[in-house]
Amino acid sequence: MNARALIFLLLGVGNAFAQGFAGLGTDAEGFAVPEPGKRFEFPQDHGAHPDYRIEWWYLTANLTGPDGADYGLQWTLFRSALAPGEAEGWESPQVWFGHAAVTSAATHLSTERFARGGIGQAGVIAKPFAAWIDAWQMEGDSLDRLQLSATGNDFAYDIAMHAEGPLVFHGAGGYSVKSAKGQASYYYSQPFFSVEGTISLPEGEIRVRGTAWLDREWSSQPLADDQNGWDWFSLSFDTGEKLMGFRVRDAADSGFTSATWIAADGAVTPYGDGKLVATPLETSWVEGREIPTRWRLVLPDRALDVTVGALNSQAWMGLSIPYWEGPVRVAGTHPGKGYLEMTGYQRR
Amino acid sequence: MTGAVLEALASHWRRNRLQLLTLVLGLALATALWSGVQAINAEARASYDAAAATLAEGRFHQLMPREGDSMPQALFVALRRAGWLVSPVVEGRLRVGGTAVRLVGVDPLTAPPSSAASEALARTDLNRFLRAETLVAGPEMAALLEANMPNPVLVDQAVAPGSVLADIGVVQKLLGRAGRISRLIVLPEQPLRQQPLADIAPDLVLQRADGATDVGRLTDSFHLNLTAFGFLSFAVGIFIVHGAIGLAFEQRRGVIRTLRALGVPLRRLVVLMIAELVVLATLAGALGIALGYLIAALLLPDVAATIRGLYGADVAGTLQIRPAWWLSGIAMALGGALLAAASALWRLARMPVVAGAGGRAWALGSGRTRTLQAAAAVVLLAAAGVLAVTGGGLAAGFALLACLLLGAALALPPCLAAILRLGEAQAVRAMAQWFWADTRQQLPGLGLALMALLLAMAANVGVSTMVSSFRLTFVGFLDQRLSAELYVDADAVADRAALERFLEAHADAVLPIMSVEATLAGLPAEIFGVRVGYTYRENWRFLDAIPAVWDEIEAGRAVVINEQLSRRAALHVGHTLALGPGLSLPVAGVVGDYGNPIGQAIVGEALFRQTFPAIEPSRYGVRTGNPQGLRRALTEAFDVPPARIIDQAAIKAFSLSVFERTFSVTDALNVLTLAVAAFAILMSLLTLAAMRLPQMAPVWAMGTTQRRLAGLEILRTVLLAAITAVLALPLGLALAWVLLAIVNVEAFGWRLPMYLFPVEYIRLMLFALAAALLAALWPAWRLSRMEPTGLLRIFANER
């Protein structure tokens, strides 16, 4: 393990991601805590909330090349606070890190960046919207029209995004409960982006078009002590309807599930614990771990019964904080595409 | 049926054990040479890498301000936002309790993962380091800090004595230098896209890490050539296998005809014979790999022990059996056997069911075959010529090698025949005439073995030339570039002026080494400033230079450039090179540079300091008769950590010893290839012995003694070998030329100078003759001791 990975493990957030997300379950020392009934204010809430421990701007895209080949793309900016609040210069307690990845059926390339807050190396401004770390950026006049780029040692991408629907709020109007004990986060999405642009892989540049989904979430303690990871789905069906669903796994493995059904016009229906049933069908060996890369999702209230399979079962983000994240194909009652994220699977 | 067929096929090997031995041993020896070379390559490379990693530890390229001693912090952010992975460092001195302390501030989030800073940080946590403003220092400094500073202190042996490591924000505050940084570390891996440095930070200069890994590029070239040699050795082996397989197939024509007449389908027969071959080849391949391992284990020194002794670095000490060369060995054996058998199988597949069983004697190629061979030789050699003149790229270089060798091998029998015909024309006495004619008559039978000898001999000449040229070049290069006894890392000492004064007082000569990144003649390059002294005057050898080159450099009136810059920019002695705005100097010399991908220009120290006032020497080369004593004195006077003083003489000796071992390996391989060729000659002679009796018997009957005949047999073989060896010499030199002047240039961008070693060639030729003599002895001895009835029977039998 390199030194930086170690540093992150020693940080709360590193623990949170890599070791059962326990860090997020600890008490919030002086951090603000999400409360039900929040009135979101835009564009301010697109920006950073330094009083909360952790926050992310999480974008995933399902793309198609000129030859019909599927690709996936990820761009994520995380904010993690060592202490609440913001300060100028090196005194800032905010730490930022970015993850970027490109996935095809055959390859998965990923990389990461780290930065301190307060000096301008990374940050988020609400208006005009700009989120950046180093040369990676997501920016535009408003959240409806964004330009997104990132580059690693062996890949790069540059895409334009245009929102074709409204923002979508999960849980109770954006208050998303994560455990039976009431741990929660603020959580909303913009799942209606249509995108086009270019991805550069070692074999060359590829023009792509497709759809993208932006998640915004912040909290100070979204997981309970006994929860150790999650399986998170964002699916876009051919009908124009969408589904966000997750299962937070706990020691007893019964899990806590939550889902949001999104109509084609953006109208949402939340489903609480137990409504969505996610069952692993097939696992793959990935970096010494057994990871479910084919799933059955059932949501009886919507007559939904689909199988979700990874485009590339080896979509492993082998970074300081390792996890699985990649594009999926959906078959069954509601065919479509989407993204799957799985955290907290331990090495055997 | 399959069982019966296999039994019939196997019976041949039972009756001809020697042939089976030839086949298996030939293939095994070829594979052994190949996998031995692979193993040596892999191990040597692993060792060099370990040494390079140890030497280069903690050294990165850096961006420095062109003027002054700091730059705005905004430049760091601007570079990061332009895609440059750089990490800021702020440095300064602070008086703590009456002692001057060197403070080093780093940003743990962007620091390179393998730097000393990040190693030290791995032992603390980010919250303590950043938020609690912890200071990290060695034990002595820690006590001082604890007594005089309010900050928490963490003890860490990895921090250099006299230095204190802390977060960049903390150090900026302590030094009162908010918003300023001293330098930027450039991370080794940079992203695909980034804006040009000159656009974002024109006031920064890139200072390269010292090229301790320069050696790597030279060794890459060496390994490539050694691999080519491995292929050649294998080719020699394949000739033997081809001969053995061809013979076995010819002799089994009768069996095959009978089997087919009994109703065995041709398809099954071919499949079974291929299966037989695969089994034999796998066996031989495994045997070969074991032999290759033995060769490598015997020849490869315990390099790891040397590395341990020198650097204290732990390296796996024994030869590893790497799956890659196991597999490549087996694959080579299988591929080689099938390649060698292809023509025989093709003939078998096309043979009519009722073909005559006796028919052609083995390899007594018809006139038509010989014409075809000669034509192929001409075409291949012509292709080689065309490739040499017009070809570009590494692939063309290897194609050229292949055409040259194959063409030369095919051209050998006609050449030998022509030379023998010349000899025959000179002969007067009947016995002599018979000797020449009979020798010529034997050519088809010995052709393949002689081709193997030709290739073996040529490969040896080529490789000896290559390796020895390489050795001369390498030793010269090391003498030139690592001439000082000690190298002191300038960063290790805070007070450079004091260090320089100390060195001036205690050493025979001090050579400050300073360099700066530049664009010369539109190409990326480095400018070096050197203090001209006896070290440079005595050790540097130029490819081309004016007579008083160092005087001109010292006076700041000229520049020396390396071969890379000279070739790429077409700059030669007498041309003028622009080093910067308002500074153009004539080129006074061109120097060979075998460890460096980019151009270099070398100017005198005074001119360098005047042109780049902000660049401090990164290292000092120190000439001294007492490196150990000076090293101790330095450590005592300045607290320089031992790792920051490099005993270059030891490194040079180590590098040379590694190379010497590798060179001795090639010597041993020379002997082995010749042994393989001699084995081929022996097998061919033994095979021919029986067939040749009808030609010998009449000469014996006319009164020539068996002893005399045997002597003539030996003479004949040595004569053929001698002619072949003489023909192999130009071929070997051509081979060396292709390796050094074409393959190397294509692979690495510079040409290794080719030196000739006549004594070595004579030695090799004597080896070849000795090999042929040894091969001829046993068959001759058998002939001289043969019962006369054996010869008489020739006349009794109706043939």
Q: How many helices (H) and strands (E) in chain B?
A: 27, 20
Split at pLDDT 50, 70, 90, the class of A257 is very high
Q: Is residue B8 part of a domain?
A: yes
Residue B189: closest C-alpha in chain A: A153
Give contacts of B111 with chain A, Cβ < 8 Å.
4
Give the H or E element holding residue B37. helix B17-56
Q: Do A90 and B127 touch (CB under 8 A)?
A: no
Considering only A4-8, B134-138, B671-675, which range has the smallest mean pLDDT? A4-8
What is the model's pLDDT at position B748? 59
Q: What average pLDDT does range B319-339 have in this prediction?
A: 74
What percentage of chain A exceeds 90 in pLDDT? 74
CA distances to B232, B237, B288, B658 from B294, rounded to whole Å, are 20, 18, 10, 19
Q: Is residue B243 part of a domain?
A: yes
Q: Is residue B459 part of a domain?
A: no
Q: Is residue B510 part of a domain?
A: yes
ipTM: 0.91
User: Are A262 and A271 within 8 A, CB to CB?
Assistant: no
Domain range holding B638?
481-647
Domain end marker among B172, B200, B228: B200
Q: Are residues B90 and B20 in the same domain?
A: no
Q: Are residues B326 and B224 in the same domain?
A: yes
More reliable by pLDDT, B599 or B148: B148
Q: Are residues B309 and B323 in the same domain?
A: yes
pLDDT digits (tens, 9 = 90+) for B483-498: 777 878 776 666 777 8
Residue B192: closest C-alpha in chain A: A153
Closest to B377 in 3D by CA, of B352, B404, B342, B338? B404
Please state, in angstroms and rounded to a whole number, the distance separating the CA atoms of residues B121 and B101. Answer: 20
Give contacts of B179 with chain A, Cβ < 8 Å.
89
Domain end marker among B614, B647, B680: B647
Evaluate if residue B643 carries a pLDDT over 80.
Answer: no
What is the model's pLDDT at position B735? 84
Q: What average pLDDT does range B409-431 have in this prediction?
A: 87
What is the model's pLDDT at position B305? 40
Evaluate if residue B624 carries a pLDDT over 70.
Answer: yes
How high does pLDDT run on average in chain B?
A: 77
Q: How many domains does chain B have?
A: 3
Q: Are residues B67 and B55 in the same domain?
A: no
From A2, A8, A83, residue closest to B131, measured CB to CB: A83
Domains of chain A: 3-342 (2.40.370.10)
Q: Are residues B192 and B218 in the same domain?
A: no
What is the model's pLDDT at position A3? 31
From B119, B127, B168, residue closest to A3, measured CB to CB: B119
Q: Are residues B67 and B116 in the same domain?
A: yes
Please state, in angstroms and rounded to a whole number, the distance separating the CA atoms of residues B646 and B537. Answer: 23
More reliable by pLDDT, B68 or B797: B68
Domain end marker among B360, B379, B413: B360
pLDDT digits (tens, 9 = 90+) for A273-285: 999 999 999 999 9
Q: Is residue B722 part of a domain?
A: no
pLDDT digits (tens, 9 = 90+) for A114-127: 999 999 999 999 98
Q: Are residues B69 and B155 in the same domain?
A: yes
Q: Is residue B756 part of a domain?
A: no
Q: What are the structure tokens assigned to A179, written together?
A: 């455990």
Q: Are residues B54 and B81 in the same domain?
A: no
CB burial string B498-511: b at 16+ within 10 A, e below: ebbebbeebbeebb
Q: Are residues B163 and B41 in the same domain?
A: no
Q: Is residue B148 part of a domain?
A: yes
Q: Do B169 and A95 touch (CB under 8 A)?
A: no
Q: What average pLDDT does range A50-55 have in this prediction?
A: 92
Split at pLDDT 50, 70, 90, the class of A6 is very low
Sequence-distant (6+) residues with CB within 8 A of B242 are B340, B341, B448
Sequence-distant (6+) residues with CB within 8 A of B183 are B62, B63, B64, B65, B71, B88, B89, B91
Q: What average pLDDT does range B10-22 have in this prediction?
A: 78
Q: What average pLDDT does range A85-99 have in this prediction?
A: 92
Q: Is residue B585 part of a domain?
A: yes
Q: Are residues B216 and B308 in the same domain?
A: yes
pLDDT digits (tens, 9 = 90+) for B138-151: 777 888 898 888 98
Q: Give Cα B268 distance to the centre of its chain.
A: 45
What is the model's pLDDT at position A19? 33
Give contacts of A115 with chain B, Cβ < 8 Å.
80, 109-110
Q: Are residues B69 and B54 in the same domain?
A: no
Considering only B98-107, B219-228, B338-347, B691-700, which range has the smallest mean pLDDT? B219-228
Interface residue of A7, A111, A137, A151 to substitute, partner B, most B CBs within 10 Å: A7
Evaluate if residue A15 carries a pLDDT over 90.
Answer: no
CB proximity B107 to A under 8 Å:
yes
What is the model's pLDDT at position A109? 95
User: Are B224 and B44 within 8 A, CB to CB?
Assistant: no
Sequence-distant (6+) residues with CB within 8 A of B793 are none
What is the model's pLDDT at position A16? 38
What is the model's pLDDT at position B64? 80
- The count of CB pairs under 8 A between chains A and B is 93
CA distances to B108, B620, B714 from B788, rounded to whole Å, are 93, 83, 20
Q: Do A3 and B189 touch (CB under 8 A)?
A: no
Q: Are residues B31 and B148 in the same domain?
A: no
Please state, in angstroms and rounded to a whole number, the distance separating the CA atoms of residues A316 and A334. Answer: 27
